[in-house]
Amino acid sequence: MGRCPSGRDRGPAAPAAAGRRLRCPKGSAMRAQDQHEQQDEGAGIPGRWAGDDQQWWDWYMTLAADAEADPTQPARAPQPAPVRAASDHEVEAALAAPYPLAEESLAFFGRHSFVRLPDVLTPAVVAAPAQRADRLLEAAHGPHHPGRFLALEQLWPADPLMRSVALSRRLGDIAAQLLGVGAVRLYHDNILSKEPGCGRTPWHRDSDHYPLDSPAVVTSWIPLRDIPTEMGPLACLSRKDAARALPGLSASPLKRSFDEQVAAGANRTTAPRHHAA
């Protein structure tokens, strides 16, 4: 989810989920592949995208350079300890409390353009949107879609619990502190669900996907499930690493060659990749 400065509103959160269930229109995966074959020319997508949101994600995942590689042996996520999910009211109350950032966190964000923050949400608070995400995805799309990368967007206008997370004071204040502003506005929220057997997400810059005339945007990535290293948690290149690894990056971010160039540059740098979860 993206947030940008504002003089009046505050925002937001983007729950990112692992191990969800979603159904797309029948045949959408094939249509997305057809679109990829037609559009992987020139600058990527010629003109306005004609498909729906899920078809976009189906197509976008084909931009990973190793998208056709045989899947490895699936890793198993750790079995979570039983946790009573907080009620909607408890979630709202917990997220009304501020989360002052330590100077070390602000300095790290300033150097690297990302930061991992501990204990922003308690296990009980995380369990509530995790369970709601399962229900929303299944209600909208049905169960069981192995190998897919599934998404739901703009949940906050219709779902009170997701709204209390996306528009919470705690997440909005964190974003404002990182940006050094008094308040922020919510750009969007979404749930992202990698089903069992899904491949890796292409290397990308979030800013390439926001039609905003400002670099003053931050995202909140909240894992709703435990994601061990062997399952491929979120990884980031710091600002310095990216500048060193990608000095000659020229490909369009909507072409497979972009992922190939970034992956090659990231492998050349001696700096380690930073895992955010």
pLDDT tens digit sequence for 228-257: 777 778 888 887 777 666 666 666 777 888
Q: Check whether 49 has a pLDDT greater than 60.
A: yes
CA 244 from centroid of its chain's CA atoms: 24
**Average pLDDT of every residue of the chain:** 77
pTM (global) more than 0.85: no
CA 119 from centroid of its chain's CA atoms: 19
Give tens-digit pLDDT for 121-132: 999 999 999 999
Q: Is the previous residue joined to 12 through a cis bond, with omega within 30 degrees of 0? A: yes
pLDDT of residue 46: 55
Mean pLDDT within 157-179: 96
pLDDT of residue 272: 41
Q: Check whether 167 has a pLDDT greater than 50.
A: yes
Residue from 162, 148, 189 nearest 20 by CA? 148
Q: Check whether 161 has a pLDDT greater than 50.
A: yes
Mean pLDDT within 169-190: 95
Count the neighbouring beta carbons within 10 Å of the beta carbon of residue 78: 10
pLDDT band of 212, cuts 50, 70, 90: confident
| 44 to 48, 154, 183, 223, 262: CA distances (angstroms) | 11, 26, 36, 30, 16
Q: How far apart are CA 93 and CA 126, in angstroms?
A: 13
